[in-house]
Amino acid sequence: MKPENPPGTPYKRNDLEEGRVLYTEDSLELWYRWSLGKYLSKYLEGLKEGRILGRYCKACGRIYVPPREVCQYCFRETDEWVEVGDTGRVNTAVVSYIQADRSRMDKPLIIAVIELEGASKGMGILHRLGEVDPEDVINRKIFGKKVKAVWKPPEERTGSVNDILYFKPVEEV
């Protein structure tokens, strides 16, 4: 039977801690400043003002959120700025119990893809849901429901996707 005698020497975490496997360690500390360009800059400025902005492509009629310079379907520059609503419908949602480093969260977080009203069908954005019972996510009752952005107070906004605290349902789940 192939593979025949696959080589390799497994070890366990405590083999490191108890000195049976030698190792060296180092950390990579890198710091980045990403310049945002014309389109994302305006998107974040819009968020600071409590508005969600998209870009319209005249050739195919799509309205993109987040906004972008190029319509990737037509491969031409998008034409106009459009303000889309801060309401939308839940395309999909999940309940997260872990952080990015795999550690457990203190309390679960509901994450969703929300299709914004005023953007083209299927143009969702990633964000949190709030004021939702996790059970309604698990049984998928929240899918397709109308939600609306809950914004930070204007003085606390920084020009970030986090200027929206979360989206909350505005119809019965």
Partner 1 sequence: MRMNIHLKNRVACVGAGMTLFRRRLYETSDELMWLAAKQALEDAGLTIKDIDCVVYGTAPDNFDGIHMQSEALADGGGALNKPYTRVYVGGGTGVFSAIAGWWHVASGLCRRVLVIAEEKMSHVQPHPQYVFHHIFDPVTEKPLGVNLIWIFALEMHRYMYKYNIKKEDIALVSVKNKRNALDHPAAQLGMKITVEDVLNSEVLVWPVQRLDISPISDGAVALVFTDEENAKQLTDEPIWIEGVGWNLDTMYWTNRDLAFPTYLYYAGKMAYKMAGIHNPRKEIDFAEVYDPFDYKELHHMEGLQLARKGEAPILTREGVTERDGDLPINPSGGLLGVGNPIAAAGLMKVAEVYWQLKGQAGKRQVKKDVVTGLAQAWGDLMQVGTVIIMRR
CA distance 117 to 108: 27
Q: Is 149 exposed, middle or buried (0-12, 13-18, 19+ CB in 10 A)?
A: buried
- At closest approach, how far in Å is the CB of 116 from partner 1? 10
- At closest approach, how far in Å is the CB of 6 from partner 1? 4
Per the CB < 8 A criterion, the answer to whether 42 and 67 are in contact is yes
Q: Does 70 bind partner 1 (CB under 8 A)?
A: no
Name 106's bridge partners: none
Torsion sign over Cα 99, 103, 104, 105? negative
Instruction: Point out which span in 33-41, 53-61, 77-85, 146-154 binds partner 1 (CB under 8 A).
Output: 33-41
Q: Does 71 bind partner 1 (CB under 8 A)?
A: no
How many of the chain's residues bind partner 1 (CB under 8 A)?
A: 58
Query: Which residues of this protein are in contact with partner 1, per CB under 8 A?
Result: 1-13, 21, 25-26, 28, 32, 34, 36, 40, 43-44, 64, 66, 68, 72, 91-103, 111-113, 122-128, 134, 137-138, 140, 143, 160-162
